[in-house]
Amino acid sequence: NNVSFTNSDMRNINLSNIQCSYCNFMNAQLEGIILKNASLRYSNFLHTRLNKIQFDEAIDLTGTTLPNGTVVP
């Protein structure tokens, strides 16, 4: 929890079932990342290239900032 992955290359990494709160993925390369059943509460994905399908695999995005700046309620 509370880990920074800012500017990291995390392409094609499997983060299934991860529990990560307040994590920062800003500007990280996340193409092909797997988020199945991931809990990513209050994390930051601003300026990443994730799509809706990838986020739909996650189970909890409460308070998370999406790539376009939208915050999940």
Residue 63, pLDDT score: 98
Contact at 8 Å (CB) between 29 and 47?
A: no
Residue 51, pLDDT score: 86
Q: pLDDT category, 11, cuts 50, 70, 90?
A: very high
Q: For residue 52, which phi and psi values (nearest 5 degrees)?
A: -60, -35
Residue 9, pLDDT score: 96
What is the pTM (predicted TM-score) of this model?
0.90
Q: Which of 65, 52, 11 is nearest to 33 (CA)?
A: 11
Residue 11, C-beta contacts closer than 8 angstroms, at least 6 positions apart: 29, 30, 31, 32, 33
Residue 17 carries which side chain, given as an amino acid letter?
N
pLDDT digits (tens, 9 = 90+) for 14-38: 999 999 999 999 999 999 999 999 9
Residue 52, pLDDT score: 87
Q: Which of 45, 48, 47, 51 is nearest to 66 (CA)?
A: 45
